[in-house]
Copies of this chain bind each other. A is one copy, B any other.
Amino acid sequence: MKKTDVLIIGGSASGIVTAITGKSNYPDKSFTVVRIEDDVMVPCGIPYIFGTLMDANKNKIPDEALTNMGIDLVIDEAISIDREARTCSTRKGESFEYEKLVLATGSKPANVSWLKNADLNNVFTVTKDKPTLEKILETIPDTTNVVVIGGGFIGVEFADELNKRDKKVTVVELLPRLLAQAFDEEMSAKARSLLEERGVNVICGKSVKELQGQNKVEGVVLSDGENLPADMVILAVGYQPNVGLAKEAGLEINEVGSIRVDEYMRTCDPNILAVGDCAEKRQFTTRNLHPVMLASTATSEARIAGMNLFKLCAVKTFIGTISIFSTGIGDTGFAVAGLTKSKAEEEGFEVVEGSFEGPDKHPGSLPGTHPQSVRLVVSKDSGVILGGEIMGGGSTGELINFLGLAIQNRMTVNSLQVSQIGTHPLLTSPPTAYPVIKAAEIAMRNCNSG
């Protein structure tokens, strides 16, 4: 029996951040992270192993982030929790006594047993497991036709990366458009046309009937009978919370299969917390259940858990996820935060929009200038900014964080419009036509009209 003050199960983003934040805030407590993987992958970096990095070792989160702080790291699998005794047993026969336990068990690829022949060779789901990813990397050179099933962000990022390897890449998405969970139609259409320009074949609105092949996959048969040649298939059809351990320990699981937690990430057991993909999430504006799986949300939860392990000290001022998210296709960034127009309307808001496009440097004649377009989704009656989408160049990722902060502060278009923004020729759009501000101006007029 080993003793540790805090036992964290799971070594990806939320586990790491819980451990680091916790240890920083409670340096006298002992911390242990138990994880299955020998090496931890930067989760969002996974698609970039295949076209840009070309080596999974370049996508590792160094263990020193933990060990340098005096956090113990154990490579093993937690298999059961005794909540009464406050102990956790592992696959290798170890047992840990804890004061606080944090479940950061993440998610796993959605079950694909509905798909005939999903067990053929060269058919891969996308996990965070380095050996599996290395197998994909090794397989790529021997392939010509790759079919990516699923047009969410993992699917789109894989497609763009594999396309850089000069593969014939096809993305198949069941819904009528790409990135449909994240974006409204216009941005989805732009992402699609950009992918197509870059040489990726995109098929939306069709389901996959089955895979075909002998040992190795040879084709993907669509619902309408079309047969796509394929010598590699990437299954990117979603993830589900990994809650087996929590369930078995009798922790409460919510209606959508996540571990029930309060605002401070505490489960129904006062000594057990849960963070990241396995933990319950609610939407920022409505507080409805909203099971997104994003590192932005997961690490925010992990910071809350780490700070509040032994006492509530960091007050959670922003409650619920804004699903803030960015990605890149080529040198174009796509990003979103808060509610899309369609989601806001579904929830019952009367919505107005404001859109504006300009260059992301100024004058636009500067080398490397990229168009930047911003769309704001605003509650017509209150003027509160509910969400926004951005398409632009390399600064898109930080610009969505600007917008994310506006949303989290429940700013109105009035306040956004009268706020000060810094601009510089080499770094931003011009002060005379900064797209976020212009979009707020337009949205404000739309609030006041009609």
**Known interface pairs A418-B314, A420-B297; A13-B395 also in contact (CB < 8 Å):** no
User: By the criterion CB–CB under 8 Å, are A366 and B48 in contact?
Assistant: yes
Is A408 close to B, CB under 8 A? Answer: yes
Total copies of this chain within the assembly: 2
CB-CB < 8 A to A411: which residues of B?
409
Is A29 close to B, CB under 8 A? Answer: no
Which residue of A16, A335, A415 has the most chain B CB atoms within 10 A of its CB atom?
A415
**Known interface pairs A300-B419, A422-B335; A427-B363 also in contact (CB < 8 Å):** no
Is A317 close to B, CB under 8 A? Answer: yes
A408 to B409, CA, bound (A): 11
User: By the criterion CB–CB under 8 Å, are A431 and B333 in contact?
Assistant: no
Is A295 close to B, CB under 8 A? Answer: yes
User: By the criterion CB–CB under 8 Å, are B427 and A315 in contact?
Assistant: no
Is A324 close to B, CB under 8 A? Answer: yes
User: By the criterion CB–CB under 8 Å, are B318 and A420 in contact?
Assistant: yes
User: By the criterion CB–CB under 8 Å, are B60 and A363 in contact?
Assistant: yes
Chain B residue nearest to A396 (CB atoms) is: B427
CB proximity to B under 8 Å, residues A14-44 = 16-17, 20-21, 24-25, 42, 44
Is A65 close to B, CB under 8 A? Answer: yes
**Known interface pairs A58-B363, A363-B53, A414-B317; A428-B13 also in contact (CB < 8 Å):** no
Is A257 close to B, CB under 8 A? Answer: no
CB proximity to B under 8 Å, residues A283-307 = 294-300, 303-304, 307
Selected interface stretch from A1-9, A110-118, A211-219, A399-407: A399-407
Which residue of A304, A316, A321, A408 has the most chain B CB atoms within 10 A of its CB atom?
A408
Chain B residue nearest to A55 (CB atoms) is: B365
Is A424 close to B, CB under 8 A? Answer: yes
Kindly identify which residue among B48, B402, B433 contacts A401, using a CB–CB cutoff of 8 Å: B402
A316 to B422, CA, bound (A): 18
A417 to B305, CA, bound (A): 12
User: By the criterion CB–CB under 8 Å, are A422 and B300 in contact?
Assistant: no
User: By the criterion CB–CB under 8 Å, are A318 and B419 in contact?
Assistant: yes
* Chain B nearest Cβ from A402, distance in angstroms: 5
User: By the criterion CB–CB under 8 Å, are B425 and A44 in contact?
Assistant: yes
CB proximity to B under 8 Å, residues A89-119 = none
A425 to B326, CA, bound (A): 9
A417 to B397, CA, bound (A): 18
Is A229 close to B, CB under 8 A? Answer: no
* Chain B nearest Cβ from A395, distance in angstroms: 4
Is A149 close to B, CB under 8 A? Answer: no
CB-CB < 8 A to A21: which residues of B?
441
CB-CB < 8 A to A325: which residues of B?
422, 424
A348 to B417, CA, bound (A): 31
Is A437 close to B, CB under 8 A? Answer: yes
CB-CB < 8 A to A423: which residues of B?
44, 295-296, 326, 397
A420 to B328, CA, bound (A): 20
Is A88 close to B, CB under 8 A? Answer: no
**Known interface pairs A303-B437, A399-B401, A431-B296; A45-B316 also in contact (CB < 8 Å):** no
User: By the criterion CB–CB under 8 Å, are B418 and A303 in contact?
Assistant: yes
Is A253 close to B, CB under 8 A? Answer: no
Which residue of A59, A295, A304, A419 has the most chain B CB atoms within 10 A of its CB atom?
A419
CB proximity to B under 8 Å, residues A301-352 = 303-304, 307, 314-318, 321-322, 324-328, 333, 335, 337
A367 to B432, CA, bound (A): 33
A365 to B44, CA, bound (A): 14
User: By the criterion CB–CB under 8 Å, are A398 and B427 in contact?
Assistant: yes
A13 to B424, CA, bound (A): 13
User: By the criterion CB–CB under 8 Å, are A424 and B318 in contact?
Assistant: no
Closest 7 CB pairs of A and B: A397-B427, A324-B422, A398-B398, A397-B428, A295-B431, A328-B426, A299-B431
**A–B pairs, 8, beta carbons within 8 Å:** A24-B441, A42-B430, A45-B366, A303-B437, A304-B418, A325-B424, A335-B422, A394-B394
Given A48-B426, A303-B418, A326-B422; 12 other pairs, CB 8 A cutoff? A45-B362, A52-B367, A53-B366, A296-B420, A296-B431, A299-B432, A300-B419, A317-B415, A333-B427, A399-B401, A404-B421, A405-B419
